[in-house]
Amino acid sequence: MVRYKSRSLRRVFVKTASKINLHYRKRKPNKQKCPECGKVLKGMVRVRATKLKEVAKSKKVPSRKFANLCSQCSRKKLIERARSLKW
């Protein structure tokens, strides 16, 4: 099985009733990062796009404003917006 020899697939040893088999699975994608500071985002699920439709919406994105930013950057942005409002 030459097509499985590449390291883009990860090797998983699976124990069956009779022996240990070698399965090849796709790797997980990289963790999502904040576009402003580059920190790893928390509360975001780490699956491929095809599996993403099976995941609940509450697991995909945090339920706060600016969910694509980390908590510190989103806090800064909220404070900026509040200060820029004309009273």
Output the pTM of the full model.
0.64
Beta bridge partners of 47: none
Q: Where are the domains of the chain?
A: 2-84
Chain segment 62-87, per-residue pLDDT in tens = 888 888 899 899 999 999 999 988 76
Contact criterion met (CB below 8 Å) for 7 and 24: no
Chain segment 52-61, per-residue pLDDT in tens = 899 998 888 8
Q: What count of other Cβ atoms lies within 10 Å of the Cβ of residue 84?
A: 7
